[in-house]
Amino acid sequence: MENNKKKLRILCLHGMAQNAILFEKQTSKFLQDLKDQVELVYIQGPHRVLDPELTSLVERATKVGELVPEEERPYAWWFIPKVKPMDSDGFFYGFRESIEYVQRVLLEQGPFDGILGFSQGACLTGCLAHMLDKRDFLIPADFPHPPLKFVISIGGFILSSQPATEPILFPITAEQKVQTPSMHVIGELDTIILPERSDALVDGFERPFVFRHPGGHFVPKTSGGRKSLSQFLSTIAQADQSQTAVTHE
């Protein structure tokens, strides 16, 4: 991709108990070769996390209080039932609010070419890819944002044990696979999101591009990871150029 080409706009979603500032720092090495090729927009989950490691509610509240630097405040996209109860419709606490929040971002700050997510943010990225691809669940057919050109999942997984989405998001049938091109970054030594959980997400996409690194649950900083990312985005740019050429014929 050349500098005079239009930059790809990517929405970036952090992991559980992180935030936009921290995630931007965590991804800086992974994305450093793309400075002239992409425009990155980092947002953070709408739900503050009360750290369960702290001994009292007062300490937990203080951790996310106004006197704590923004970089240290933890946020989430949703909470599992053992932290906060599900709603009456079978959604994890905060899940629908996060989908609605991202929809507003897509409309107010978009359009975006792709979404990049890590851990819980990667799980959300997968959900959004499915919703924007199928347009039959939570995101309607008339939602005024173009289809995504790609998604990038780092340490991602399929959202499971949420009754409201289990029969809908990422069913096993081949015809229901997400058509959006996807890149999946998987740590072979990941003990938080086991590789087989990430592989299950890979299987939900029609055209997955997989990069495996010999590490754990983190955003890779190696040249191999950067090279694979550049390779993936180059295929996206080429496909976009081909589509543009066909459109103008």
Residues annotated catalytic, as ranges:
119, 190, 217
Angle at the Cα of 98 from the Cα atoms of 206 and 230, rounded to 5 degrees? 45
Using the Cα atoms of residue 42, residue 48, residue 50 and residue 52 in order, give the sign of their dihedral: negative
Distance CA 112, CA 189 (A): 32
Residue 100 backbone dihedrals phi, psi, to 5 degrees: -65, -40
Tokens 């997984």 found at: 157
Gap between the Cα atoms of 204 and 201, Å rounded: 5
Which helix H or strand E contains 153, and what residues bound it? strand 150-154
Q: Which of 84, 85, 55, 54 is nearest to 72 (CA)?
A: 54
* Two tokens, residue 16: 């559980």
